[in-house]
Amino acid sequence: MPHQGWGAWDGSYPAAAPKPGVVPLRPLSVGEILDGAVSAMRTHWRTMFGLSAVVVTVAQVIQVLVTWALLRDADLSVLENTALPLEQILDPLVRTTTAAGVGVVVTWLAQLVLTGVLTMVVSRAVLGWSIRLKEALSATVPRLPALFGLTLLVGLICGGAVILGAAIPTVPLLALRAPEALVVLLAVLGGLAGLLAGIYLYVTFALGVPALMLEQQPIRTALRRSHRLVRGSWWRVFGILALAWIITVVISYLVQVPFTLLASPSILLNPSETTQLPTDLVSLTLLAIGGIIAGTIAYPFSAGVGVLLYVDQRIRREALDLDLARAAGAAGTPAAPQAHIDAPAVPPSVPPHSGDTTPPPPVPPAAP
């Protein structure tokens, strides 16, 4: 079947595929995607770890200061007493909720910036090119508003699926004053169905960020590109993303456990008790140090898996490896068909670190 944008492809690959960068230019196995993400971190450790450490540190400092300012004189013990009237628990409840909300927003913004920049770095690593931090930032900053909009839209879509799943079966019953047990049961079942729908939509749109950053696509087009790339491979994409998530969670947990024990051992013993949350500056700083180390490792790995999964899906569907091999100048690679390039993945004014002033784009977009 012809592959859009790069002509026909017979599905065959040479036994020894060219490997100019962190992965061979052919369909990738799960292990090669994970190993490629680690190789990108190891090869470009100054840029990836340095940027991640700076951004995560700024985010953690903001969270520590906000949390300390809001909770240092708050009596959180009242939150455990459900018999107290609302006015007595309202102030600590608002403070706790505000601190948590600020933490979520700051973490999300930090992850947003890192994902954009690291996507550009890993896309160059696929071709064996280096890229300076200044170059990666100059290529990323103009796309940040679109990246912000895309991630917000995907979050609203997935979250909305969960809310609708719980609301659709329960709202009519509430209007009819149905038994409370039936309403709760249908709310739980509907919420689970909505959660499954949200997971399905999240995986479907998971490749939207690389499409938006590397193909310079608008938000709607990037989401449609992700849908087309994931279609028919949903379970494979889901499995790789889930495995990468498990790895990052385990690594983050192992890194943060020592700092959590130093800050407040009771958090691990009783994580649900609000009164055990540390509010002094020393404990919050220890938790922040653990978060900085964990984030510095986890974010580059997660971004690397996302980019390599996107490249792998395009190789499988569009024979992108031919254009990548030609762009990298791999020896012995057959001439690729003419690619339809709507916009460069990296602005022409940003040359690769090797000194070539007119590089082909690392990941050219497909034809409309």
DSSP output for 188-248: HHHHHHHHHHHHHHHHHTTTHHHHHHHS---HHHHHHHHHHHHTT-HHHHHHHHHHHHHHH
Q: At what angle do helices 234-263 and 180-204 cross, to 10 degrees?
A: 110
CA 66, 70, 74 angle in degrees (round to 5)?
A: 150
Which parts of the chain fold into alpha helices (H)?
A: 30-43, 45-71, 86-126, 133-140, 144-175, 180-204, 208-214, 219-230, 234-263, 265-269, 281-318, 320-328
In this structure, what token pair is assigned to residue 226?
Answer: 């992700």
Residue 270 CA to residue 18 CA, distance in Å, equals 52
Residue 207 CA to residue 223 CA, distance in Å, equals 8
- What's the pLDDT at 265? 66
**Residue 16, Cβ neighbours under 10 Å: how many?**
9
pLDDT in tens, the chain (368 residues): 333 333 333 444 444 778 888 899 899 999 999 999 999 999 988 889 999 999 999 999 999 999 888 887 776 666 666 666 666 677 777 888 888 888 899 999 999 999 999 999 999 899 888 888 888 888 899 999 999 999 999 999 999 999 998 888 888 777 777 788 888 888 889 899 999 999 999 999 999 999 999 988 899 999 999 999 999 999 999 999 999 999 999 999 999 888 888 877 655 555 555 445 666 788 888 889 999 999 999 999 999 999 999 999 999 998 888 888 887 665 444 444 333 323 333 333 333 333 333 344 444 444 44
The one-letter amino acid code at 155 reads G
Is residue 286 within 8 Å of 259, Cβ to Cβ? yes
Query: Nearest CA to 283 among 260, 305, 254, 249?
Result: 260
In this structure, what token pair is assigned to residue 184?
Answer: 């709760």
Residue with tokens 């796309």: 143
The one-letter amino acid code at 198 reads G
Domain residue spans of the chain: 44-328
CA 328, 332, 333 angle in degrees (round to 5)?
A: 55
Compute the half-sphere exposure of residue 365: CA atoms within 13 Å on the CB side of its CA: 23
pTM of the model: 0.79
How long a stretch of residues is the chain?
A: 368
